[in-house]
Structure 1
Amino acid sequence: MRAHTGDWIVVESLHLGGERRRGQIVRLEHPDGSPPYVVHWTDHDRETVFFPGPEAHLEFAGKSAAGGHQT
């Protein structure tokens, strides 16, 4: 997974009926765009350091959710 500042990370729920989390990447820890990322989460209005797992995918800045591609 390679991200840029401003990209969105979406984390799908691992449980049936669970909520999807969405946050914007506000800072990269590595210049090549590899994890971890500092993410501002929309559901809690907080920033955390995030290491994405297999349930996470990126929506690239400037692309719609339908037009974004996964990495």
Structure 2
Amino acid sequence: MKANVGDWLVIKGSVVDRPDRRGMITEVHSSDGAPPYVVRWLDTDHVTTVFPGPDAIVVSAQEQRDADERARHRFGVVQSAIKRNQGTDERT
């Protein structure tokens, strides 16, 4: 696993009730990008030093932006479908 400052560390949720956890890598101490990483967690804003396990992946800043845009698009599509269905339900 290799990372750069500004990349994102994503720890995959292993069960239904536990979503993925995401944090921005703010420090990489090795010159080759190997762990450990200092991470600021998105959900808590806490900063921790992390030795990622097998359930973790590193995502570049651009890959994360692309994933966020896809998620926003999917959310918009679902919202539009709900609004269309509400309009249909009100007319019947």
Measure, in 2, the Cα distance between the counterparts of 1:33 and 1:11: 18
2:67 aligns with 65
For structure 2, the residue ranges without an aligned partner over 5 or more in a row are 69-92
What is the aligned-residue RMSD (CA, Å)? 1.4
TM-score using structure 1 length? 0.83
For structure 1, the residue ranges without an aligned partner over 5 or more in a row are 67-71
Structure exhibiting the larger radius of gyration computed from Cα positions: 2
Quick one: higher RCO (CA 8 Å, sep 6+), 1 or 2? 1
Q: Whose helix proportion is higher, 1 or 2? A: 2
TM-score using structure 2 length? 0.66
Measure, in 1, the Cα distance between the counterparts of 2:31 and 2:46: 23
2:25 aligns with 25
Q: How many residues align?
A: 66
Measure, in 1, the Cα distance between the counterparts of 2:24 and 2:46: 11
Query: Which letter maps to 1:50?
Result: V
**Equivalent residue of 1:6, what SS?**
coil
